[in-house]
Amino acid sequence: MRLKDRLIRMIETDGPMPVSLYMQTCLHDLQHGYYATRPGVGEDFTTAPEISQIFGELLGLWALHEWQVMGMPSPFTLMEVGPGRATLMRDALRAISGVKAGDEFLKAMQLKLVEASPALRKVQADTLSEFEPDFLTQIDDVEDGPLILIANELLDCLPVRQFIRDAEKNSWVERKVGVAGGELIWGAEPLDDLPFFTPDLNRLKGFELQPGLETMALTLAGIAERGHAMRALLIDYGPNHLPPEDTLRAFYKGEQIDPLAMPGECDLTVDVDFAQLRHQGEKAGLTVHGAVHQGPFLLSLGAEARMQQLTQANPETAQSIFEAAARLVDPKDMGDRFKVICFSSGELPAPVAFF
Ligand code: SAH
C-alpha cells in the first residue's frame, strides 16, 4: 500500500492528523518514509556542505579550536546529528588532519553519528570508515564526557505544529491534514489551549511550533549538567525574530511542490524559529551564543582565505569554486537566511566566530 493510501486510512480511522504527525510519517516511516527509503540529499535539495567543501572544512577547524579551548580533553566525543551523505564530516576531518594539533584531536576523538535514516547510515559508515564511527539512536545515548556536536539542516526537518488565529472568533485552531473525496486536504480543528504562549502571540495570524526544539535544548542541557564541557553548533534557515507562520515546503528533484502531493517521496521542511530555539536553550539552563548569520560566521572563520587557496591551487575550476563559496556567504543567497547558534555548558568562554 502506498504511503498516501495508508495516511488516508489512518485519517479515516483516527480523524484529522496534526501537521507534525504527517511530517514525521512522511519523513521517517520505516517502510515508506522519505529519509528511510529514498533520501535525496543533493538531489531533491542541496545543502551547504554539498555546495562547497569550504563549509565542512571551516566547521572542522571551528571544532578543533573549541576542543583546544576545552583543554584538549582525551577522549572526547565529536558528534554529528543528521550527517546526510557525510560530506560535512568528511571535509571537516580532512581539514583537521591537515593542521597542527589535528593528529592529537583525531587520536582523542570518538566519532558518534545520530542518523534516523538506515539508507544514509550506510553511506556515512562507508564514507567515514577510517574514523570508525559509532551510530547512536539518540543524542542522549552518548557516554559521559566532553562533547562537541554539529548539526546542519537537521532542525528544519523536525516535525512542526501549525496554529492559525481565527480572527472572527478570536480563537486559535490547529492546522490538520484531513481527507475528502479520497484525497489529502488541509483542514483545521479548534484548540482549547495553546501549547505555549508568548505575549505577542495575539498580534499574529498564525505561528509554527517545533516541539523538537525544546527536546533538543533539554537533551543538551541534560548532558551539560553531567558536568562535562559541551558545545553544540546548530545551523539552519529561519528568522531570528518573529515566529514563522506557514513555512511548510516540499521539495522533489529541486522543485517546490505541494506538501500533500507526494507523501514519502519528497523532502518536507520548515523554517526554524531561532528566537524560540534561543529561548528554549536559555530556559533549559544552557549558555546560548547567537544566532548569528551564516555569512559573517563563515567569513570570520576564514572563508575568503580558504577560497583563495583553493582557486589558486585549481585555476581551471577557479570560477566554480568562487561561485560555490560565494553562495554560502552572500547575504542575498545563504549568508543571511541561514543562522548559526551555539549551546554550551556554563564554564566555557564564548565560542569563536560569534559576535
Ligand atoms: N547535515 C547534512 C544533511 C541534512 S538533511 C547536510 O548538511 O548535508 C537532514 C539529515 O537529518 C538527514 O541525514 C536525515 O536523515 C537526518 N534526520 C532527519 N531527522 C532526524 C532525526 N530526528 N534524527 C536523526 N537524524 C535525522
CATH code at position 333: 3.40.50.150
- Cα 319 to ligand 1 centroid, rounded to whole Å: 30
Distance 312 CA to ligand 1 centre (A): 33
pLDDT at 196: 62
Residue 260 lies in a domain: no
196-200, Cβ contacts within 8 angstroms, sequence gap of 24 or more: none
CA distance 53 to 87: 8
Looking at the domain assignment, is residue 164 inside a domain?
Answer: no
User: Would residue 261 count as lying in a domain?
Assistant: no
Q: Which residues' Cβ are closer than 6 Å to ligand 1?
A: 35, 39, 41, 47, 49-50, 81-84, 87-88, 114-117, 120, 152-154, 157
Which of 169 and 164 is assigned the larger pLDDT? 164
Q: Whose CA is nearest to atom 21 of ligand 1?
A: 116
Q: How far is the CA of 88 from the centre of ligand 1 (A)?
A: 12
Domain annotation covers residue 169 = no
On whether residue 165 sits in a domain, the answer given is no
Instruction: Report how far residue 319's alpha carbon sits from residue 317's, in angstroms, rounded to the nearest whole number.
Output: 6
- Has residue 91 got a pLDDT over 60? yes
Q: Is the pTM of this model over 0.85?
A: yes
* Percentage of the chain lying above the pLDDT 90 cut: 84
Output the CA torsion sign for 198, 202, 203, 208. positive
| Residue 32 covered by a domain | no
Owning domain of residue 142: 51-158+210-238+273-355
Q: Is the residue at 145 inside a domain?
A: yes
pLDDT tens readout for residues 44-86: 789 999 999 999 999 999 999 999 999 999 999 999 999 999 9
Domain count, the chain: 1
Q: Does residue 232 belong to any structural domain of this protein?
A: yes
Q: Please report where in the chains the cell 526537518 appears, as a residue.
A: 157
